[in-house]
Chain A
């Protein structure tokens, strides 16, 4: 489309110089554009960030009553509380286990769908459709699939001679079961990102390589993959940050069990704050997690800078 090529070729210009000579009031006119968003942002992001920090120094309770100032006691308790660190570990474990398949499978799917003609629509539909489902639907279906005996997966396993697996009730496999479900659910997004990137690789590169006599595999290795490096970086970054925030599917599938073996840190925050009423303590844990995510985000943006690369 014409507009898009125009977008690609012009560079961003500074705001028009004429505005600098205008009187202050009309210069403030720009403020009206950003104000609605900024107000909402201040009220529902900045303010809770501040009050959360504030209540982490008190023993505020959900059940009301007076709150006493505790100084750093909540933070000290958090450091000594094993459950904080084990649940943080579960979140990290989930991240480590889920990121490789989500990235690799997304790439494989994109490679498969990229070249397909008549099948293309069908492949794009099948791979991405799970992503539009709400988490509750996904977990209801997969809990049903994972059942022992009459569950489809265990049935398939026994038919080919393997023994059943207690997917959601055995500590050793529960996290893997959750990772599998998450992969099915969300790989479609990475698939689409890779697909778009693949379609942006100029065909001439491949044609030139074919003329030179290189095989498909060589082309994959020497052209495609390097061209996808930036997208891969982006996907890994997004995937890591999203995984650190995991809560929904774990809570819905195992409730953090069996025997708390899958409980992620966000669930522990939820339980301390709302089930055990300890809002102050839960805020302290939230802040620790927040700081961690900020550190990870900054580190990643330094490692994978989000810049446009020229296609050369």
Chain B
């Protein structure tokens, strides 16, 4: 009995039963995705038969073929990738520079400016959709990539998290580099950033996920279907006609699986990142 317990893991909470419950819950949690995959692989006519069954007369990739053939979804994947990547890179750059500035330098008005930036954490972007759209319209940025990207760079919470992290780094390394004559920027780049890789990875991963999945703002600022990102395009464009559940699920999977696979690969980093953010927050 004890060997079994050992195999199933530590037993502070009564291992075997709990492992079973955990496993069942995990399987239950995967059912929606599994059902989506199953539906996408069925012939269209069999998706709505009753009673419901998991095994169709044949499995087929027809739905995927049709969706991919329509071309829109490839375009949207490209848009999502472009926008999410740029948002992530630029956010990391802007927020880490700003956090370093607030943490290590001093200039007139520093405290006041930092407080002003912090105040922004309380402003929910959803509340700004109306004036932001008006502003984009005035700037001629409706239906452009920059129109999508720029408002997403406003990440005061990241500045806060990064500043806190920088505050905690011992200054010895930087002071040594300063004595060697390195400029502030160079110190930032060569000394501080490399030491911050875990937190930067965390910020980067979460920014990427949130930019990729952002629905509301791209939904507002983009009306041209060719410019849409995945979440918006999937909703706005009716590629298939009539009741086509297999195709709908196929499109959903093509849109959703890339990030799931990415998560499976990067799981360790994601978990560490959330942990960092949570413990520091």
Contact = CB atoms under 8 A, between A and B. Distances in A.
A294 B253 CA distance: 38
Interface in A239-273: 241, 244-245, 247-248, 252, 266, 269-270, 273
A43 B150 contact: yes
B101 A136 contact: no
B130 A196 contact: no
B130 A112 contact: no
Interface in A97-112: 109, 111-112
User: Which bracket fits the contact residues of A?
Assistant: 35 or more
Given A128-B263, A137-B234, A150 B94 contact: no
Contacts of A40: 94, 150, 153-154
A172 interface: no
B104 A15 contact: yes
A8 B164 CA distance: 12
A129 B50 contact: no
Considering residues A8, A210, A279, which has the most beta carbons from chain B within 10 angstroms of its beta carbon?
A279
Interface string A22-59: 00000111111110111011011111110110010000
**Chief secondary structure at chain B's binding surface:** helix
A92 interface: no
Nearest to B23: A119
Contacts of A121: 267
**Chief secondary structure at chain A's binding surface:** helix
Interface string A274-285: 100001001100
A16 B267 contact: no
Given A36-B94, A49-B128, A145-B32, A140 B252 contact: yes
Nearest to A108: B25
A152 B131 CA distance: 42
User: Which bracket fits the contact residues of B?
Assistant: 35 or more
B14 interface: yes
Contacts of B188: 33
B279 interface: yes
Contacts of B235: 136, 252
A112 B18 contact: yes
Given A55-B131, A220-B13, A33 B105 contact: yes
Interface string B120-143: 101110111111111100000000
A118 B23 CA distance: 11
Contact of A30 (B14, B106, B249, B253): B106
A3 B18 CA distance: 36
A70 interface: no
Given A119-B22, A289-B127, A140 B249 contact: yes
Given A38-B98, A152-B35, A132 B209 contact: yes
Nearest to B32: A141
Contacts of A12: 167-168
Considering residues B26, B127, B259, which has the most beta carbons from chain A within 10 angstroms of its beta carbon?
B127
A123 B97 contact: no
Interface in B161-206: 165, 167-171, 175, 184, 188, 195, 198
A227 interface: no
B134 A55 contact: yes
A13 B171 contact: yes
Contact of B29 (A29, A126, A199, A287): A126
Interface in A190-233: 192-193, 195-197, 199-200, 206, 210, 216, 219-220, 231
Ordered nearest first, which 5 A-B pairs have the shortest CB separation?
A30-B105, A33-B101, A196-B275, A112-B22, A52-B131
Given A37-B159, A126-B27, 16 more contacts: A10-B168, A31-B107, A33-B105, A37-B153, A45-B151, A51-B134, A115-B11, A124-B271, A126-B29, A129-B260, A136-B231, A136-B234, A216-B12, A234-B278, A286-B128, A286-B130
6 contacts: A32-B101, A34-B113, A45-B128, A46-B120, A115-B10, A150-B47
